[in-house]
A and B are shown apart, each in its own frame.
Chain A
Amino acid sequence: MGFLDIDNATKSYGAVEVLHKVDISVQEGEFLVLVGPSGCGKSTLLNMIAGLEEITSGEIRIKDQVMNGVHPSNRNIAMVFQSYALYPNMTVGQNITFGLEMHGVPKPEREKAMAEVAKLLQIEQLLDRKPGQLSGGQRQRVAMGRALVRNPDVFLFDEPLSNLDAKLRVDMRTEIKKLHQNLGTTIVYVTHDQIEAMTLSSRIAVMNGGYVQQLGTPQEIYDTPANIFVATFMGSPAMNVVPAKVVMVDGCPHAEVALHDGAMAQLPFSQDNLSHWDGRDILLGIRPETITDVDGADRKSSNIAQMTNRIVVTEPAGSDTFVSMTLGGRDVIARMRSDAEVSPAQDFTFAVNMEKAVAFDPETENRIQG
């Protein structure tokens, strides 16, 4: 039993099922991020938690109370919307206390709660202004204030940062994380931005096509993705996925991949469990940052393989240099430190951290597990 339980929740519009048996249990104080491409059902799921959309089948419980059919205002939740949804005709102060007023909280208490929240979010000087007179970041704060003031069990965030410019987005991201650390509230947060998902969450649910593809900590999602969708969706640049073949060298499973000229490189796996895939085709997943120059390789890794391949393009980006090459017939990107000495059309010895490599079944696209 968690704090917020989503139990086999399904959503259909007519005959079309858009969410398929979603099963997530959120602990108190947890920061759960629902992430996925647009149309994956993440916002629908959030709206179902909020009570803005009905649940077709299954159950949603908050603190062990079944929420199916309970009006949004009686679920003790608060929501921050993508467009902030501040009431344009009310001042900031009225916006923040509207919910309390609707719940019949007496005026002196409302004023007190408003003052506390305004102090916490540093919006005291804005209380008499109308939302139209605020900047994007200020509106965002007011929207969070409106959610905070009700002291809800669960906070719901619906892509709250996507309307902000890049710099402000990073600032507000930190701010939300700080807020969560200080208040210890339970948060469900929807985003399509995988960096937001990684930085904010204590757990991530990666969604696609109405299914939860994987539920886990950011580290689990990043290092051991359940399938190719999760592997390529999380991380930027995306994980390289190349066709390879498992061969046994000295009793250890190796991945055999084609280099640019058709010659084969054999990269040793760290997991023994791939032995029974001997001779079969797999898809090899390598994150860009695990392909480096030999000097830049991770010294703590127990399994660094080397291969010599031709560089196609180099893209210096200041902090890193992106190097692309052809591997297994596909374009593969390596992310190197900026002072790696690389130049295009040059044969170069790469170090691949095979400890971090993963293998996928080409038919099911699922990760091959032990």
Chain B
Amino acid sequence: MSQTSQDTAIRTGRVTRTLIYLVLLLFALFYLLPLYVMLVNSVKPLEEITGGGMMNLPEVFTLEPWLQAWSSAQIGVEPTGLRPYFWNSIKMVVPAVIVSTILGALNGYVLTKWRFKYDTILFGLMLFACFIPFQIVLIPMARMLGLMGLAGTTWGLALVHVVYGIGFTTLYFRNYYAVFPTELIRAAQIDGAGFFQIFWRILLPSSGPIAVVSIIWQFTNIWNDFLFGASFADANSQPMTVALNNLVQSSTGVKEYNVHFAGAILAALPTLLVYIVAGRYFVRGLMAGSVKG
């Protein structure tokens, strides 16, 4: 009797399991379809695309569109490809990510371990920064950059992203440090460590997971930003996203879809890489402090 019931249990289990996997597989395929279209079309000659059959695998495999997108496609006036703009993005993203993460960590440290009057109100105001739409600050920001002599420069863009990112990084680090034992800070105080020594020697070495979260979040946001790049950069400091738009939107000549596809993938690669390298810390860090132990 028990034998039969066990059998049916396994059989039903198998059926539901197969169903679940089928549905999941369908969703995965659906989700991956755009990537597939981009990949296959970026390695086809243009005639194959214009001749129809966007879903087909390439008959002639070529890396020419990738090379063109990288170094010789017409963007703006010069046929430079995306390469200079890629470096523009790097020059903007790296300092902005580093500075906003360090400032966020410092803010989190002060807001949790060096409490002062009205600190919760201050933190609330900083959180508010996370919810301000980009569009509202465009004009005041342009004026400020102009006054500081940073208009149209990569440094100016980096500054904008630092200012915009501090709200998020502060939130991350504050919540992480809130569960960091205060007794450790007190022990370090008695041991004679100063404000920055405690930060560098005690707090930062234990902040790995949350630093990774902050870096991934800031990197993807800043790298993918279009609006600030389009508004505050001039022709020489445009980031990758703006250049890609210029490449795709150019109204003269033939639309080279294969080059556009290759360019779009190039623009998305760095964030993808960051996720693959540091992704497993991401979830760990996001969950940090939510569960005891």
Residues of A within 8 A of B (CB): 50-52, 71-74, 77-79, 81-83, 85, 87-89, 98-99, 102-103, 146
Contact = CB atoms under 8 A, between A and B. Distances in A.
A103 B192 contact: yes
B186 interface: yes
14 contacts: A52-B186, A52-B189, A72-B186, A72-B189, A73-B190, A73-B192, A79-B190, A83-B183, A85-B183, A87-B201, A88-B184, A88-B206, A89-B202, A99-B191
Centre residue among A78, A82, A87 by max chain B CB count within 10 A: A87
A78 B189 CA distance: 11
Contact of B193 (A81, A98, A146): A98
A83 B192 contact: no
A53 to B, nearest CB: 10
Given A82-B183, A88-B206, A89-B202, A98 B190 contact: no
B149 interface: no
Contacts of B189: 52, 71-73
A79 B206 contact: no
Contacts of B184: 85, 87-88
Contacts of A72: 186, 189-190
A139 to B, nearest CB: 13
Given A73-B190, A85-B183, A87-B188, 14 more contacts: A50-B186, A52-B190, A71-B189, A73-B192, A74-B192, A79-B187, A81-B187, A85-B181, A85-B184, A85-B186, A89-B202, A98-B201, A99-B190, A99-B192
Interface in B164-190: 181, 183-184, 186-190
Interface string B127-152: 00000000000000000000000000
A78 B190 CA distance: 7
A81 B192 contact: no
A310 to B, nearest CB: 50
Nearest to A75: B190
B53 interface: no
A98 B186 contact: no
A227 to B, nearest CB: 33
B197 interface: yes
A88 B207 CA distance: 11
A88 B190 CA distance: 17
B231 to A, nearest CB: 42
Contacts of A73: 189-193
Contacts of A74: 192
Contacts of A71: 189
Contacts of B197: 102
B159 to A, nearest CB: 32
Contact of A89 (B183, B190, B191, B205): B205
A81 B202 contact: no
Centre residue among B192, B193, B197 by max chain A CB count within 10 A: B192
Nearest to B208: A89
Nearest to B207: A89
A131 B190 CA distance: 19
Centre residue among B188, B191, B192, B197 by max chain A CB count within 10 A: B191
A102 B191 contact: yes
Contact of A83 (B181, B193, B202, B205): B181
Contacts of B191: 73, 98-99, 102, 146
Nearest to A71: B189
A99 B183 CA distance: 15
Contact of B187 (A51, A85, A89, A103): A85
A286 B181 CA distance: 44
Nearest to B180: A88
Contacts of A102: 191-193, 197
A50 B181 contact: no
Contacts of A79: 186-187, 190
Nearest to A50: B190
Contacts of B192: 73-74, 99, 102-103
Nearest to A89: B205
Contacts of A50: 186, 190
A50 B190 CA distance: 8
A266 B120 CA distance: 64
The 4 A-B residue pairs whose C-beta atoms are closest, nearest first, are A73-B192, A99-B191, A102-B192, A89-B205
Contacts of A98: 188, 191, 193, 201
Contacts of A146: 187, 191
Contacts of A103: 192
Nearest to A98: B191
A318 to B, nearest CB: 37
